[in-house]
Amino acid sequence: MSTQLASNPNQMMAAQWAAVQDATGRIAPTWPLDQMIAVNPYWMQRDLPLRDVSARLSALGGVQCLLPAAEYARLRADKRIDLSAVSEAASLLQWDGTLAELEAVLVDSTDTAAQTAWLSIAARADQERSPFRMLWQDEVVHQISQFCAAHYQTQRPLLGRGRISDQLELYAHWLDVTQRDLGIGILLAEPEINRTLRALPDSPAALIQTAIEEMGIRDETLADYCHALLLDINGWASYTAYLSWQAQLYQETQNDSLDLLAIRMAWELTIWRHLRDQYPAKFQHLKAAWQHAQRHLPALLAEHKAQQAALWVWATALELTEQRRLQLTLTKAVPAPETAPTLQAVFCIDVRSEVYRRALEAQDAHIHTLGFAGFFGLPIAYEPASTPLSRPQLPGLLRPVISVVATTKDTTGSAGDRKERLQTSARWQDWSRGAPSSFSMVEAAGWWYAFKMLKNALFPGQTPHPVNQLMQTEQWTLQRGEVSLSIAEQADLAQGILHAMGMTTFAPHVLLVGHGSHSTNNLHAASLDCGACGGQSGEINVRVLAQLLNNTEVRAVLTERGLNIPAETQFIAALHNTTTDGIQCFDDVPATVRTWLDDASRLARRERAARLDPKLAQRSDEDLEKALHKRANDWSQVRPEWGLANNSAFIMAPRAWTRNADLQGRVFLHDYHAAQDPEGQLLTQLMTAPMVVTNWINMQYNASVTDNLKYGSGNKVLHNAVGGNIGVFEGNGGDLRIGLSMQSIHDGTQWQHMAQRLAVYIAAPRERIAEIAQREAVVRDLVDNDQLYLFHWDLDRGFARWYQGTWHVPLVG
């Protein structure tokens, strides 16, 4: 994409160039719909204290990182916040007021912060604009958003892994389209605006430099001003941040974030010039207000931080209360005695597996379950034969280094026919995704599609994923580039995975359980699949790993290395349907194991039923299973399941420590045995990878609750797909919506996710945890800048929190 700004920073002073780069670097990426994973929207600002980030976002964009005062008041009245926790929180945050003053904040819930947020040139110009004309701010967001949708739909950058150098430059394309669009002047009732647009500089660097000079943007204000502009179009800014993220993974250069900033600033400059030339009196008011706002910005940031101080005490008190309750649960749970495993089942650490694992373990004391990252340590991309598709099956933090190709070929037609069937199926499903598109499909396809719609409404059935349909094979080839992995390389991969799992003994049957969701007519379906698998089902990963670990040649090499897997041990790939709590095994299992799984499914369904719909709790087991399958296939169902809503903690410890604890489906569980990791290498991996991923999940859910307008996607009933898989509009325009819909976090009456920062508990030597937390910059930022809580857990000594370079013993109970 455009490289002018990146290659010619000398057009601006070094301080100005640094400020522009700083602003574009504050926006977190968002993944497209078909790979939708949870992302911490504050991730790119993790080097700053969260309270400072919160104040900045509030001041610059009216963004809320905290619940409203009225919500904390309700939680206080419902006894969800302990009074002693309020005192502890006030001490931790060095609150210098009284408890009465804290209580008073909950009574006076006026949102003064939103009323004093920073205003762009467009928003300031709207203050004196006629109510009979379209607002500048509305047109700016709408025009940029519609253009971006058309631009990215046309070229689909990076998603097809096309060469960046062959793709259109975002700013140049926007300038060409906008300067030709006479409708802008008509829509705004400002016919001279087109002449002003035609006078804009040709390059993003020249545009930004011109805007800085003409609008008198102060150096000390520039970074925050640019950040505020990007928050205006945060959805598209997040998408361009994703393009940059992907480019970095592949060692490429991508500058669309800078181009997008230049586009937004071009509108500022256009409005500035237009008012100067057409409305001199209004322009003088605007200029004076603008200069004052720049001088006042530091005071505005401080004001917002002061306004939020009391609410941070309440937010922290809520978290401390929840932590005490969890710690009390863990303290009371008696560690399970050691037993020889008859069956082992390895599940993703996803919080939904905690309910099922308890249900499965309840069937027999000799059933052992383990928690492991859902992609099962396979750094792979899935490449269906005879198609150009390459689908990552690993966390978005990582780049796939191994490709997985089906060995068994589809014999139902030529390779060309198979590719065409996949493309046709995918196009047809894309067309039918948006709500209004159903009507256009009926008009274009005729009466038979209307009949199909009626059939789906009355007799819902499963709509298969066109890519997942290609998985029907029993053999996979692992390749690095065009070269297949040798047996030794496969053994290296298997050995590393087994070590990370902590498996030293093996049952006769070992289930490798991936997970995937099942819903119909759901643009955000990928958000309910496995985030560790790149927003996909984990089926590919468990199938490939089972093949790898069952390979006799690989086992022979492992035996030579001292890792002996008994000959009778069979690894079986399985998939947990998180919507229906059914377990599908991709190989035969003994009747006893099948009975255990079916009984565990019934228990898990029963536990979840009331939360989905209170009426479901009254049904028989058979009727409940049917009802859940019906919900999964119902194209009008907006809440097929709750996903990871209400997640609150991450525990790295032996499963025996938590087996007798009911963690209510709110905790990520990763098996970790410190004795097997004397150098702490595995713990380092866990604290810099799964812990980061769980932070992303937790913060996405939190932000979607505290500010669904900016970091959530609103009402999913109104969603329309943009560019097939880029993202969604709520309705037919506005900014690109990101994050979770209201239906994913609210049941229509109350929140289903409690916004609280993740608490991480690790069973490892204190000094090892502290050393990693200090050495690894990512961990240090997350812990010391308050994006999560980090605890040491010892069965004898209890709990201690690591924070700001020292250990603190919290209150329990």
Cα 683–Cα 687–Cα 691 angle in degrees, nearest 5:
135
Strand-pair partners of 719 = 730
> Does residue 65 contact residue 316 with C-beta atoms inside 8 Å?
no
Q: Is the dihedral of CA 581, 587, 591, 593 positive or negative?
A: negative
Residues 6+ away with beta carbon under 8 Å from 133 = 188, 189, 190
Residue 478 is encoded by which pair of tokens? 């692992």
Residue 645 to residue 72: CA distance in whole angstroms: 19
From the annotation, which residues make up the binding site? Answer: 348, 350, 515, 530
Residue 524 to residue 745: CA distance in whole angstroms: 13
Residues 6+ away with beta carbon under 8 Å from 468 = 537, 539
> Does residue 757 contact residue 697 with C-beta atoms inside 8 Å?
no
> Does residue 269 contact residue 215 with C-beta atoms inside 8 Å?
yes
From the annotation, which residues make up the binding site for Zn(2+)? Answer: 348, 350, 515, 530
At 592 the three-state DSSP class reads helix
Strand-pair partners of 762 = 652, 792
Residue 227 to residue 24: CA distance in whole angstroms: 7
Are β-strands 806-808 and 798-803 bridged in parallel, bridged antiparallel, or unpaired? Answer: antiparallel
> Does residue 725 contact residue 635 with C-beta atoms inside 8 Å?
no
* DSSP secondary structure of 150-213: HHHHHH-TTTT---GGGSPPHHHHHHHHHHH-THHHHHHT-TTHHHHHHTS-SSHHHHHHHHHH
Residue 201 to residue 213: CA distance in whole angstroms: 13
Task: Kindly tell me the burial class for residue 314, based on how many C-beta atoms sit within 10 Å of its own C-beta (0-12, 13-18, 19 or more).
Answer: buried
Task: Kindly tell me the burial class for residue 620, based on how many C-beta atoms sit within 10 Å of its own C-beta (0-12, 13-18, 19 or more).
Answer: exposed
Residue 736 is encoded by which pair of tokens? 């690109």
Are β-strands 649-652 and 667-670 bridged in parallel, bridged antiparallel, or unpaired? Answer: parallel
Task: Kindly tell me the burial class for residue 462, based on how many C-beta atoms sit within 10 Å of its own C-beta (0-12, 13-18, 19 or more).
Answer: exposed
> Does residue 792 contact residue 769 with C-beta atoms inside 8 Å?
yes
3-state SS, 736-776, equals: CECCCEHHHCECCCCECCCCCCCEEEECCCHHHHHHHHHHC
Residue 383 to residue 390: CA distance in whole angstroms: 5
Amino acid at 122: A
Q: What are the respective helix, strand and coil percentages of the chain, to the nearest 5?
A: 55, 10, 35
Strand-pair partners of 667 = 649
Nearest to 461 by CA among 517, 518, 538: 518
Name the one residue in this structure whose structure tokens are 């089926």.
539
Residues 6+ away with beta carbon under 8 Å from 543 = 471, 476, 573, 586
> Does residue 701 contact residue 645 with C-beta atoms inside 8 Å?
yes
> Does residue 686 contact residue 714 with C-beta atoms inside 8 Å?
no
DSSP 459: S
Order of strands across the sheet that contains 570-577:
367-372, 343-348, 509-516, 570-577, 582-585
* DSSP secondary structure of 304-319: HHHHHHHHHHHHHHHH
Amino acid at 353: S
Name the one residue in this structure whose structure tokens are 């939680």.
75
